[in-house]
A and B are shown apart, each in its own frame.
Chain A
Amino acid sequence: MIARETIINLVLAVILLAVPLIAMAFGEPFYVTLSTRVAILALAAVGLNIALGLGGLVSFGHAAFFGIGGYAAGILATHAFNAEPMLFGFEGTTSMPWIWLIALTVCGLVALPIGAISLRTSGVYFIMITLAFAQMIYYFAISWPAYGGEDGLSLSVRNSFPLINTAKPLPFFLICYALLLLAMGLFALIRGSRFGAALQTARQNDTRLAAVGIAPFNIRLIAFIISAMVTGLAGALFADLNRFASPSMLSWHMSGELIVLIILGGKGRLFGPLAGAMLYVLFEYTLGGITERWQFFLGLILLGVVLFARGGLLGLLAGKARHG
């Protein structure tokens, strides 16, 4: 017998793929862009879900990594476009795989010190210190005129991917969709692995983890870094989607949005981020069409979820999560 959650997960994955295909068939590229937005936000939230869902680390600073990924794409492409050498005479690149690799590396390198310092605290202090780091990076970005400052950084054309025409909405969606599935696969592997066992124990009871001889700090730090890298990758795609690396990608609203996505969908669940991103973008689109104050209604829904459906949408549909 297939678990109910598996069926729901499959349905969600198929819906996200079907919407843009059907939209293209009807010549409505707008819905492709909307679906791409869902895929990218879900990818960012899958990253955060490693820290928050598996490790119980409520990072209120993941916008930092989302934004760094975005600026990595923006800066590299700008240099390549203007043929202006940057560090070590490197002229930037407009090739997505290279941009992703660099975004992943930079996010990992930035997450290391942020995590190493933040993880000395826990609870509300951890939330605040991650927020503080992200805000530092945000203010740094808006006060750096070389890369647009408050105006952000525009990309003249979408970056390229070998053999695929990324300028068309559907191929670009498929790239994002494939990366999302890949990241979810990674999440599932980590969750079921030895590392995942240690990480989830750190969330449930870190004394227990220490008592068997595993230092919770190390496990959390590694999880934080992996989490940041995945979110950073999503940031690079987001900049490419909008052809714009905006400082708002770095702001605390973005960090909050990622947490909201996870709570809406179901934290720690494999498809929680996707369910949350679908709901969020759906609200944004439908409610946002009716009223500018759509976030008020989103707030009400979030309140309902927190009060009555702790497991989020997936908890509601598939029941409580069970571990082997």
Chain B
Amino acid sequence: MVEPILEIRELRKSFGALKATDGVSLDLRPGEIHALIGPNGAGKSTLIHQISGSIRQDSGTIRFLGEDMAGLGMPERARRGLGRSFQISSLAPEFSALRNVMLAVQARQGSSLRFFRPVMADKSLTEPAMAMLERVGLAKRANLPAAELSHGERRQLEIAIALALGSKAFLFDEPMAGMGPEGSKVLTGFLDGLRHEAPILLVEHDMDAVFALADRISVLVYGRIIASGTVDDIRNDPEVRRAYLGEAA
């Protein structure tokens, strides 16, 4: 079997009496989209936060590219290639879309301690950033401040940033949220191709997108994974139907 890119074992995190993550183990393998679904409050975002390093787990291990992430903060993990998007878009609102991506390009080049050369005249920043915006279909909006982009466009911008980082795995937290049906369709097609660049751990409520994209699905309920398998396994799992999918499936 191929070595997983991301390997999570027995992860636990409590907030007081609430077990937000209760012994979660899962893998992300090369070339796959692994979808994480579950009802609101199941602990999906908490899990993403622990993987990306913005909160620390109580116990359990997270290994990324064979390396234990314990003790590494969000910046260190991002530098090692964990690219994430946020459930609520997290951008530099005053900066243009282009400058938001340029920041990622500069971070990847490891060159933030340059004090004099103007960034806007620096083709080694603007050109790769523009290329990423073109890939996600935001090129025409490149000069608008992030705050003036639509909800869906901000999602696309976050993905462009993760791409510009040259991420080796993507953690996308509800990238489709707030997008119209047309937008989700385009993004679904885009993510479909993206998996060959780096595997994606996808938290998503849009079941059409999940069923269309996922190689594997894990279902998280009250901090525990109650089922994990292929799309068909999950569709036909009685416990999942009861706990989450309801009649919708």
- The interface of chain A, by Cβ under 8 A from chain B, is 189-190, 192-198, 200-201, 204-205, 207-215, 219, 222, 323-324
Contacts and interface: CB of A to CB of B under 8 A. Distances in A.
B93 interface: yes
B97 to A, nearest CB: 11
A262 to B, nearest CB: 17
Interface string B116-141: 11111010010000000000000000
Interface string B17-29: 0000000000000
A264 to B, nearest CB: 21
B119 A210 contact: no
B111 A194 contact: yes
A212 B116 contact: no
A174 B177 CA distance: 59
Given A196-B115, A198-B106, 16 more contacts: A192-B120, A193-B115, A196-B119, A197-B102, A198-B103, A200-B92, A204-B93, A208-B90, A208-B103, A209-B103, A213-B79, A213-B165, A214-B107, A215-B75, A323-B95, A323-B96
Contacts of B93: 204-205
A67 B103 CA distance: 36
Contacts of A209: 75, 103
Contact of B106 (A194, A211, A324): A194
Contact of B78 (A197, A201, A213): A213
Interface residues of B, number: 41
Interface string B79-104: 10000101000111111101110111
A215 B72 CA distance: 12
A210 B90 CA distance: 11
Nearest to A219: B112
Interface in B165-208: 165
Nearest to B125: A194
Contacts of B74: 207, 210-211
Nearest to A216: B75
Contacts of A196: 115, 119
Decide if the interface of chain A is mainly helix, strand, loop or mixed: helix
6 cross-chain pairs, A with B, having the tightest CB-CB distances, nearest first? A213-B78, A213-B79, A192-B118, A212-B107, A210-B74, A204-B92
Contacts, number: 108
A33 to B, nearest CB: 34
Contact of B114 (A194, A213, A324): A194
A225 to B, nearest CB: 12
A200 B103 CA distance: 11
B119 A323 contact: no
A218 to B, nearest CB: 8
A118 to B, nearest CB: 20
Contacts of B119: 192-194, 196-197, 324
A201 B100 CA distance: 9
A222 B95 contact: no
Contacts of B95: 197, 200-201, 204, 323
A248 to B, nearest CB: 33
B75 A213 contact: yes
7 contacts: A190-B115, A200-B92, A205-B90, A208-B92, A210-B74, A212-B78, A323-B145
A250 B92 CA distance: 35
B52 interface: yes
Contacts of A204: 92-95
B94 A195 contact: no
Contacts of B118: 189, 192-193
B248 interface: no
A212 B103 contact: yes
Contacts of B113: 194-195, 222
Contact of B94 (A189, A194, A198, A323): A323
B114 A195 contact: yes
A196 B99 CA distance: 12
A323 B94 CA distance: 7
B39 interface: no
B161 interface: yes
